[in-house]
Structure 1
Amino acid sequence: MTAQAGRVVFTRGGLAESVHTVHVAVVDREGRRVASCGDADLITFPRSSSKPVQALPLALSAPDLPPDELAIACASHAGTPEHLAVVERLLARSGSTVDDLRCGTHPPFDPGVAADLIRRDEKPTPLHHNCSGKHAGMLLSCVLHGWPREGYTEHGHPLQVRIRELHAELGGVPLDDVRVGTDGCSVPALALPLHGAARVFARLAAPGGELAPALERIFRAMTAHPFLIAGAGRLDTTLMPLVPGLAAKMGAEAFYGMALRDTPKGPLGVAFKIMDAGERARPHVALAVLGGLGLPVTEEMRALAPATLHNWAGREVGTVEVELPSLRG
């Protein structure tokens, strides 16, 4: 029987104005369920929360890759000059250029950079796409493994086949249980049970076996370069430095994954999905989960998810209430 799902409730005038339904899974590196809320068996797409696994073939084949370049391969970056410089370095390692990227183009996530492009009457390029670092890393993985760069985004390409296998291995699920769609940047989007996604992050928190050195390097790259993983004012970048031993990665449609090394229950992996893709609820759920697992939630952390709502004149107009009724060990 599925446990009661969590909720994030935004109120106004004492009334619930919007409600976001949440499912949470927390596991240890063996996949044992330490805590849950809602449906831990929910099959869902981690989307960009898969990027640490998508970067694993790169980490395995390039053990001397600088940490900032490994971090950008795991990133959903904001398209700032700092981000683009690292992507360009990573592209150059495989003899690739921006023309080889198959991620498509969108305006930079950083509003200042996007506005600056408009002022200069310049169009964004695939470098500005938040996934360009991942794609640059994939191109280098192809070169180092002896796979063709052509068609590297296709489901049947050897790189994408290997990435799917790694999701199954790290998630502790049969390969056939890893469902395949197509992501916004054209690579395969892989869906697996929520508890499997949590186990992926648990393995990142407590690496073991043959993959351990590469997983450790990914964890260290992400935590050493939080700005590269997202950008100013974005949750991954702001939360990781505030929580010792945390590697966090957001995914589209309000998915979130956290690898936690230092909890009262030891290293853990967390995955949660907000069913209506309500991005504004994500920091509230993240802090509630951290607190529920016994981690201190500081005032600086609480500032990322205020419990009260204010209007443009500064008046308090409502509240945010997080209910995770069955989050338990």
Structure 2
Amino acid sequence: MGAAVPMIDLWRGGRLESRHAGHAVICDETGQIVESWGDPAAEIFPRSSCKMMQALPLLESGAAEAHGLTDRQVALACASHQGAAIHTEAVGRWLADLGLSEADLRCGAHEPYDTAERNRLIRAEEKPCQCHNNCSGKHAGFLTLNRHIGGGSEYVEVDHPVQKAVKAAFEEVTGEASPGYGIDGCSAPNFATSVHGLARAMARFAAATGAGDARDRAMHRLTRAMGAHPEMVAGEGRACTELMRAMDGRVAIKTGAEAVFVAIVPERRMGIALKITDGGTRGAEGAIAALLVRLGVLDPAHPATLKRLDAVQKNWRGLETGIIRRAAGFP
């Protein structure tokens, strides 16, 4: 792996305090690199940034159409959500429509990130369930595909037909054979690729017209569903939701754990992928905002941008303590 380059800095008292370095690639629809920083060949786990690719078999197989999935559900299949009521209720209804229950999920349970729902659980002395898992929408999508193809219950196993279909789609759209996989936080396999491969895949989504073959139509619908329903993709206060709203849904973006971020930019027919090597969310959010500003699709003065880039830091008394800004030479 080549050297990462500085991308986002934190300044305090006129001095550089912290620095986030990483790799980033902007690709065009042909898969060629338009611009890059760091090492485009750096191999990474895309984590949840690849959920659109994991959802491709759901649409391409005809399962989404057969089960009458709405665009709101399609967006939820790509989500790393907050576990708010709008998310858990939507997952619960989806499972019920399949004749399944929360017990059929294989993502595991964790405390919701949504404060209101967490407080509700505490007051009611209830434990979180698997619907609160930030990946439960993706898993509802897996279960829908699994019902359609008649697979066994352990749909997260790497040799299960669901995951074989995911791997095939993943390798085809990245244009690379995956060098291996790891197990994600939600128990599903997460296939590795290069930063270039991830950007190439996003550019293919960006170039989809909705008038082509099954893959083209699937990519087009996934991208538009995310842009139309940003609240389902993440939640209030989250970067994915706020930045997609700031761009009026014209761009689909998705974060992944350990500071991965991608963007699908249909009006430029370009895709972006980045990885901050220290795994810090602050660096990834600032870097994706900077790249979207560079492509002219995000207003640098929008509050959602200024929350993450050229962002003034304040302490508990409201005093200005520092600022988060792009590193010299990036982007």
TM-score normalized with structure 2 length: 0.92
Other structure's SS at 1:285 match: helix
Other structure's SS at 2:192 match: strand
Letter in 2 for 1:80: A
Identity across the alignment (%)? 40
- Corresponding position of 2:93: 89
Deviation at 1:40, TM superposition (A): 1.0
TM-score normalized with structure 1 length: 0.92
Deviation at 1:321, TM superposition (A): 2.4
**8 A Cα contact 1:102 1:153, kept in partner:** yes
1:234 equivalenced with 2:234 (yes/no): no
- Corresponding position of 1:206: 207
Give the total of aligned pairs: 321
**8 A Cα contact 1:72 1:228, kept in partner:** yes
The one of 257, 260, 277 equivalent to 2:262 is 257
Q: Deviations over 1:75-116 (max 9, x none)?
A: 111111111121122212332110111101100011221122
Structure-to-structure mapping, 1:178-327, within 5 angstroms: 178-207=179-208, 209-244=213-248, 245-262=250-267, 266-295=268-297, 296-305=299-308, 306-323=310-327, 325=329, 327=331
Structure 2: how far apart are the matches of 1:142 and 1:93?
Answer: 14
- Corresponding position of 2:107: 103
- Corresponding position of 2:45: 45
Structure 2: how far apart are the matches of 1:11 and 1:21?
Answer: 15
Bigger drift between 318-327 and 196-205 goes to: 318-327
Gaps of 5+ in 1: none
RMSD: 1.8
**8 A Cα contact 1:90 1:137, kept in partner:** no
Q: Deviations over 1:216-250 (max 9, x none)?
A: 11112111110010000001111112114200111
**8 A Cα contact 1:52 1:74, kept in partner:** yes
Structure 2: how far apart are the matches of 1:319 and 1:251?
Answer: 24
Letter in 2 for 1:231: G
**8 A Cα contact 1:206 1:267, kept in partner:** yes
Gaps of 5+ in 2: none
**8 A Cα contact 2:300 2:306, kept in partner:** no
Bigger drift between 248-257 and 55-64 goes to: 55-64
**8 A Cα contact 2:6 2:22, kept in partner:** yes
**8 A Cα contact 2:6 2:19, kept in partner:** no
Other structure's SS at 1:27 match: strand
1:58 equivalenced with 2:61 (yes/no): no
**8 A Cα contact 2:4 2:21, kept in partner:** no
